[in-house]
């Protein structure tokens, strides 16, 4: 007969955190949210750590280049969705990697004999208002001048006006010499009230641009996720079908970390994919795997070489895997069991493999519960789909503004590659739905509020970092009536207009 698990399959909503002693060290400004993203050996540090414990889901309606940049600024990482052609996915990755805090290679360049119309077309394509004028229109050509949005007026200037007639010429530019430090370049920008400082070599060729806004952005976003070249860190999803073509293209485009997108990760298809990546690239390329819901699934992927393991099947707000196939497990139970398996594996091997809780988050306090139960970081789709930076448009539905949100297991996504069944390339039934989520505005505004709640809750639990939270958090199971008691009850709420 089948094997029965003795424990009940439970969700985050069935638990509450019990306060611990809040010491004088427990104040929100003192809480550190840094957490490992990839595996590491005992006594060493991980090659990549998150500055906040959040990553965005590998979904068409969530993770594109704009969300990846916004989340990296705040300290998290996005995984660009893979249910699209390889060239389109790699282009999204390249766009993220072009954002660089400091010395930037100019990728919007014109020639002196180009026209204002050429400027307009390039601006619409690149989104850049500052453009270098070089002798050959190349990013490393001899610098002749700079064009900004202040150099022309579309209402008055003819579209066929030559660039050389309205650009700021080289003899009026303040420039820096190649080899200058970023601090010195920023000092020049501030002392001369510049928005952009071109960096040139000894022969007058353009090498880099340094922007005032990059300095400002860094000061406003101290948790930025940056690589060794001060570019934003970005992840990319892959599948177990075309990885031999997709992975090399993503690596060439600059992806910092990969993750297999699948509804069920306890599979030989994932083992083959991980081992192919590791055999070809060694430890230089990081790859996450999943999803799993028990100790055996974790162990299988850990021994296959995964750099992190995703936990959760059927807990996402748009996922209907449990309804369709009867497959899955309550997210709280899955995370806690896999966390125990992760710790046992660490004791046995000296290798710590981070786990990612994927799904089941309804309220912000569920995030703290996930971390307290052993997750190192959390992957979210619905949460990020609500923001300006996600790929979908804002729609008015009745009296409310919403954004579209659909699962990778829905017919709309047409993402049959995520199902490791090894048979014909067709989706025979859906495991996700097509829906809406309430529009919430900018990512940074909403994420800031969420992080404040998370830090405050951790302080109530007596912890100032995630590692300590896992060790000392106290959790209680709640009854259905105590859940009701925890919400608003026995009062008549005022309408907001009465305030």
Q: Which entry of 241, 246, 342, 418 is annotated as an active-site residue?
A: 418
CA 300 – CA 327 distance, rounded (Å): 18
CB 53 within 8 A of CB 34: no
Catalytic residue among 319, 356, 459, 461: 319
Count Cβ atoms below 10 Å from residue 423 Cβ, excluding itself. 8
Contact by Cβ (8 Å): 405, 381: yes
Any catalytic annotation for residue 319?
yes
| Token pair 């990059």 in the structure block, residue | 214
Q: Is 418 a catalytic residue?
A: yes
Torsion, Cα of 44, 49, 53, 56 (10° steps): -140
Sequence-separated (6 or more) residues with CB below 8 Å from residue 71: 54, 55, 56, 77, 78, 384, 389, 443, 447
Alpha-carbon span 425 to 482, nearest angstrom:
48
* Neighbour-count burial of 469, counting CB atoms closer than 10 A to its CB (0-12 exposed, 13-18 middle, 19+ buried): buried
H-helix segments, 305-460: 321-325, 331-349, 364-372, 382-385, 443-460
Q: Which of 135, 114, 105 is nearest to 204 (CA)?
A: 135
Reduced to 3 states (helix: H, G, I; strand: E, B; else coil), residue 429 is coil
In sequence order, the 6+-apart residues with CB closer than 8 A to the CB of 280 are 247
216, containing H or E segment = helix 212-220
The residues annotated with a catalytic role in the active site are 319, 418
């Amino acid at each position: 007969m089948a094997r029965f698990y003795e424990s009940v399959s439970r969700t985050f909503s069935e638990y509450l955190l019990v306060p611990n002693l809040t010491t004088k060290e427990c104040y929100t400004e003192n809480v550190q949210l840094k957490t490992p993203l990839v595996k590491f050996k005992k006594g060493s540090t991980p090659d990549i750590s998150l500055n906040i414990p959040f990553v965005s889901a590998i979904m068409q309606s969530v993770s594109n280049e704009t969300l990846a940049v916004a989340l990296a600024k705040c300290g998290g990482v996005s995984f660009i969705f893979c249910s699209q052609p390889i060239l389109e996915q790699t282009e999204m990755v390249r766009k993220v990697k072009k954002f660089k805090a400091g010395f930037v290679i100019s990728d919007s360049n014109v020639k002196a004999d180009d026209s204002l119309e050429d400027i307009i077309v390039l601006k619409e394509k690149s989104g850049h208002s500052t453009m270098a004028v070089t002798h050959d229109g190349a990013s490393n050509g001899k610098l002749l001048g700079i064009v900004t949005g202040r150099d022309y007026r579309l209402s008055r200037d003819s579209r066929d006006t030559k660039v050389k007639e309205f650009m700021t010429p080289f003899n009026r530019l303040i420039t820096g010499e190649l080899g200058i430090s970023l601090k010195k370049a920023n000092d020049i920008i501030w002392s001369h009230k510049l928005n952009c400082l071109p960096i040139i070599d000894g022969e007058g060729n353009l090498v880099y641009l340094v922007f005032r806004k990059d300095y400002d952005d860094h000061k406003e976003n101290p948790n930025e996720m940056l690589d060794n070249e001060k570019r934003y860190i970005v992840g990319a999803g892959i599948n177990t079908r075309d990885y031999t073509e997709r992975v090399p293209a993503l690596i060439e485009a600059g992806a910092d970390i990969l993750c297999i997108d699948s509804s069920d990760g306890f599979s030989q298809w994932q083992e083959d994919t991980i081992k192919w990546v590791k055999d070809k690239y060694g430890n230089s390329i990081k790859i996450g795997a999943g999803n799993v819901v028990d100790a055996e699934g974790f162990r299988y992927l850990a021994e296959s070489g995964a750099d992190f393991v995703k936990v959760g099947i059927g807990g996402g707000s748009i996922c209907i895997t449990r309804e369709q196939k009867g497959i899955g497990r309550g997210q709280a139970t899955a995370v806690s069991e896999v966390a125990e398996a992760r710790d046992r594996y660490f004791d046995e091997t000296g290798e710590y493999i981070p786990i990612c809780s994927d799904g089941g988050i309804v309220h912000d306090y569920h995030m703290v519960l996930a971390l307290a139960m052993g997750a190192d970081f959390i992957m979210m789709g619905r949460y990020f789909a609500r923001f300006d930076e996600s790929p979908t448009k804002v729609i008015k539905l009745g009296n409310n503004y919403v954004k579209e949100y659909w699962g990778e297991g829905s017919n709309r996504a047409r993402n049959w590659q995520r199902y490791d069944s090894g048979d014909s390339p067709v989706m025979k039934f859906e495991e996700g739905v097509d829906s809406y989520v309430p529009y919430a505005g900018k990512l940074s505004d909403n994420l800031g509020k969420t992080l404040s709640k998370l830090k405050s809750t951790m302080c109530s639990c007596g912890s100032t970092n995630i590692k300590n939270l896992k060790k000392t958090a106290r959790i209680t199971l709640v009854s259905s009536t105590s859940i009701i008691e925890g919400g608003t009850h026995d009062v008549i709420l005022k309408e907001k207009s009465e305030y």
